[in-house]
A and B are shown apart, each in its own frame.
Chain A
Amino acid sequence: ELKVEQNPLFLSMQEGKNYTIYCNYSTTSDRLYWYRQDPGKSLESLFVLLSNGAVKQEGRLMASLDTKARLSTLHITAAVHDLSATYFCAVDSNYQLIWGAGTKLIIKP
């Protein structure tokens, strides 16, 4: 059974700081997704990582994938308040997505 673990589950940080969210998964998969969810809202796709060594960046967010280690990271650079949200990773398994528990990120001014 494929399991996806995110950590930390909760993160409170100051504006301007850097931090990384980790997503580990238990079996082979070559496709990993990062989503953002604002409170009371639906999910917004951030990144799709399709191969080992893939790295994608959008603004202050950068995601990477290491399929050998079964690990993806979402790095936040010089955080700003607008990035406060819950971030989910999800891994493909037989055309379904297996979801991590989510990381609630609060960025304080």
Chain B
Amino acid sequence: SAVISQKPSRDICQRGTSLTIQCQVDSQVTMMFWYRQQPGQSLTLIATANQGSEATYESGFVIDKFPISRPNLTFSTLTVSNMSPEDSSIYLCSVRGASGNEKLFFGSGTQLSVL
């Protein structure tokens, strides 16, 4: 199993500002995944964060808007830049189990509201 510490748990931000979300894992993992969950919706993958290389972004998400850092195998950050009310969502980081093909473990989530 993996234990993920995600912070902040929630924030209320002003339009045009940026917020950085942090995830710390209690073990080394190859890939970390960042998801967005808009109110009442399912999960949408934003990007996969790989240590030592640029993140891989899904269609509709770009690095300028959602820059990601992955300085080591236990830590990653996601920044939501130049926020607008449409960015109000829950943001979740997740990792696979140790063998790489196990279920996803999730952080506790960051509930973001943009005014």
**Which A residues form the contact surface with B (CB < 8 A)?**
31, 33, 40-43, 45, 48, 88, 90, 92, 95-97, 99-102
Contact = CB atoms under 8 A, between A and B. Distances in A.
Contacts, number: 40
A97 B43 CA distance: 10
A48 B99 CA distance: 14
Contacts of A43: 43, 92, 104, 106
B107 A101 contact: no
A36 B66 CA distance: 27
20 contacts: A40-B111, A41-B108, A41-B109, A42-B107, A42-B108, A43-B92, A43-B106, A45-B103, A45-B105, A48-B102, A48-B103, A88-B43, A90-B104, A95-B31, A95-B101, A96-B45, A96-B48, A99-B42, A100-B42, A102-B42
Interface residues of B, number: 20
Nearest to B105: A45
Contact of B42 (A41, A96, A101): A101
A99 B102 contact: no
Given A92-B101, A102-B41, 5 more contacts: A42-B108, A43-B104, A90-B104, A99-B43, A101-B41
A100 B45 CA distance: 13
Interface of B: 31, 33, 41-43, 45, 48, 92, 96, 100-109, 111
B104 A33 contact: yes
B101 A31 contact: yes
A95 B106 CA distance: 16
A31 B100 CA distance: 13
A51 B100 CA distance: 17
A95 B103 CA distance: 10
Contacts of A102: 41-42
